[in-house]
Chain A
């Protein structure tokens, strides 16, 4: 049995939020540098260099990389031997979100969907839970901006649409998105599950580090095919034209109903702020 106090969770969340806001992770910086090397468009190269410069300024001056410091998204893995004291994990995460966004001078972006009144503290966080064996609590966080999220799509496809249908849907989604989601983008794809699961696993796919290879060989191949096709669209960095529209394509699949083939495409911007911690 391992006891974790609510404040420990909250403090860990504050650290994740404040650090991620101004420090782009190594995998993203490396992939931006690679893109800058292969970009043939003058505008595109210039944009990528400014994005890299922005990351340097954000880090050295401790400023948010982007003013859209996102909705706070969490994937939590709770070990079977973990007991939380002084409250629930959800309360701990929301407390950390409230304090972290305030402490680091981050923008509060949650609002009532109808009145549009700002909630004022960036809560509620969006939290997904998984239960695993062991005595650890793993908290993975991403600051997810609205611009890229707005261009994401979901489709209840027919089994007969097959792999080609999935590829076409992903590429079409990026064609429609064009410059809007701040390319170059990371594209998370969820295949299977049901309506809501496909979207959740598409989001989860974004948490995989860029540059890692999908252990499922068939999915790795599909990722490569989609990546190549997206970069052939011509959108380029910020949509000014170029060959770097995708930084990475990540796929997760899950079993689905014999009648269905749900596919969700979750687009993430180049300012891909993601971090995790294990308690």
Chain B
């Protein structure tokens, strides 16, 4: 299968070319955040305060890496389940977030926001944290250090492997894949 090479920040023109099922290799800067970081980021937005990074055009990766060993950039770093961030994701998209990387189904609210704000949801392979870590070239904590693995990190990635789950046209790989293979097991 062919891979589409894409770079961050993501432009709307690029996002318009992405379709559900496209396999991509992402390069550039991405940011990490999980449950508590999302709660805090949206709280800052509600209070009209500045975020720890400019989210315009950026990708947030839902990950809580394992600790880096001495000499390593990062530990294992696969995706966590995305639905826990569903409550917060539309607000972040409204304020410029263009991409999310995680695993698992999104709510209708998130899927609608993806169409409305022209964003994209990528799936990465859960449980492939050792493999995925190879595409992460640098890692720096930029906020909420006390959250340990859940702190907000700025990552530099090179050819980070992901697949488009939800595109701006309403495509959903989970629904389409399931429909295609339902009943096919022999």
| Chain A contacts to B: CB under 8 angstroms | 22, 40-44, 46-47, 50-51, 53-54, 57-58, 61, 63-69, 105-109, 116, 118, 120, 145-147, 150, 178-180, 182, 228, 231-236, 238-243, 269-271
Enumerate B39-89 residues with CB–CB distance to A below 8 Å. Answer: 63-69, 75-78, 80-81, 83
Q: How far is the CB of A11 from chain B (nearest CB, A)?
A: 21
Contact (Cβ within 8 A) A147 B133: no
Alpha-carbon distance A108/B148, docked complex (angstroms): 9
Contact (Cβ within 8 A) A68 B130: no
User: Can you spell out 9 A-B residue pairs with CB atoms less than 8 angstroms apart?
Assistant: A64-B129, A66-B130, A67-B66, A67-B77, A178-B104, A179-B174, A232-B184, A240-B174, A240-B177
Contact (Cβ within 8 A) B127 A106: no
Contact (Cβ within 8 A) B184 A239: no
Contact (Cβ within 8 A) B147 A43: no
Q: How far is the CB of A193 from chain B (nearest CB, A)?
A: 29
B173 at the interface (CB under 8 A from A): yes
Contact (Cβ within 8 A) A53 B182: no
| Chain B contacts to A: CB under 8 angstroms | 1, 21, 35-36, 63-69, 75-78, 80-81, 83, 103-105, 123, 125-131, 133-134, 147-150, 161, 163, 173-174, 176-186
Contact (Cβ within 8 A) B69 A234: no
Q: How far is the CB of B47 from chain A (nearest CB, A)?
A: 20
Contact (Cβ within 8 A) B65 A107: yes
Alpha-carbon distance A42/B173, docked complex (angstroms): 13
Alpha-carbon distance A58/B76, docked complex (angstroms): 9
Contact (Cβ within 8 A) B125 A238: yes
Contact of B133 among A44, A63, A107, A271 (CB under 8 A): A63
Contact of B67 among A41, A105, A243 (CB under 8 A): A105
A272 (CB) vs chain B CBs: closest residue: B127
From B68, B75, B125, B173, residue with most partner A Cβ within 10 Å: B125
Chain B residues with Cβ under 8 A from A179's Cβ? 103-105, 123, 174
The 3 closest A-B pairs by CB, nearest first: A241-B177, A234-B182, A180-B104
Contact of A42 among B1, B75, B103 (CB under 8 A): B1
Chain A residues with Cβ under 8 A from B66's Cβ? 64, 67, 69, 105-107
Chain A residues with Cβ under 8 A from B176's Cβ? 241
Chain A residues with Cβ under 8 A from B184's Cβ? 40, 232, 234, 243
Chain B residues with Cβ under 8 A from A178's Cβ? 104-105, 174, 178
For the complex with contacts A51-B125, A65-B130, A67-B129, 14 further pairs of A-B residues with Cβ separation under 8 Å are A41-B177, A46-B1, A54-B130, A64-B76, A66-B129, A68-B80, A106-B66, A107-B65, A179-B123, A180-B103, A235-B177, A238-B103, A242-B181, A243-B181
Chain A residues with Cβ under 8 A from B127's Cβ? 51, 54, 65-66, 145, 182, 269-271
B83 (CB) vs chain A CBs: closest residue: A180
Contact (Cβ within 8 A) B130 A269: no
Contact (Cβ within 8 A) B35 A67: no
Alpha-carbon distance A145/B78, docked complex (angstroms): 12
A271 (CB) vs chain B CBs: closest residue: B127
**Assuming A236-B181, A242-B181, is B81 touching A180 (CB within 8 A)?**
yes
Chain A residues with Cβ under 8 A from B174's Cβ? 178-179, 239-240
Chain A residues with Cβ under 8 A from B185's Cβ? 228, 231-232, 243
